[in-house]
Amino acid sequence: MMQLCLLTRKNFCSAVQKVALKRAPVCAGLLRAAARTEGAQLLEFALVLPFLLVFLVGIIQFGGAFNLKQNMANAAREGARIVISTSSTDSSCSGSTPCAIQAAANAMANYMTNAGRNSSCITPGSPSSSGTLTWTYACGSGISMTINRGYTYPSPDGVTWITATKVTVTYPYTWFFNNIIKLLEPGSSASMPTTLTETAVMQNIAN
């Protein structure tokens, strides 16, 4: 009985060894295939990564530029609304600059400051330059606000001209998109504006 058990155990172990030997090449092939797949995935990721970075940075950069232009457009409209509804002859405030112009410059500077854009260099009572119904505030590196109360444009019938106020707001914008696009092609660059500009035009209501 003992001898039979020993023979059975021996036969069982021999069968297990045979099965293991038969499956060893299959397992080795699977391991090699898995290694090749991982290597291919790493290569594909390395090829796609620059495109992903350019795409992501592009979204961030152009999204920031769009947000800045929205802030400038809103600020320009705020300034224009104040100017068109206030008489240009009101000189009750200090300085030689009309009160409406000072109020508009102050409103635009406050709006941009509240939007996270530093406008502390704008001094409403002291424009950088002034002409006939035109006042310009320029400060910092590329910040400027121009108020033109004598702007005209043709009426819909094309016969008469409408007197309006045109407000132009300009702010600098820093791009780092060029540093990323070089990942696709070294030495390449995109021509980006250093400043962004928005305007608002409204018909004058008060003289």
The pLDDT, as a whole number, for residue 2 is: 41
Pairwise pLDDT comparison (131 vs 182), residue with the higher score: 131
Q: Please list, in sequence order, all residues whose beta carbon lies within 8 angstroms of the beta carbon of residue 77, skipping any fewer than 6 positions away.
A: 167, 200, 202
The pLDDT, as a whole number, for residue 14 is: 54
Q: What is the CA radius of gyration of the chain?
A: 36
Please give the mean pLDDT across all residues of the chain.
Answer: 82
Q: Please list, in sequence order, all residues whose beta carbon lies within 8 angstroms of the beta carbon of residue 132, skipping any fewer than 6 positions away.
A: 150
**Is the model's pLDDT at 175 over the cut of 80?**
yes
Pairwise pLDDT comparison (97 vs 92), residue with the higher score: 97
DSSP run (H or E) holding 4: helix 2-84
Q: Poorest-confidence range of 29-33, 93-97, 141-145?
A: 29-33
Question: What are the structure tokens assigned to 77, written together?
Answer: 């409209």
The pLDDT, as a whole number, for residue 183 is: 72
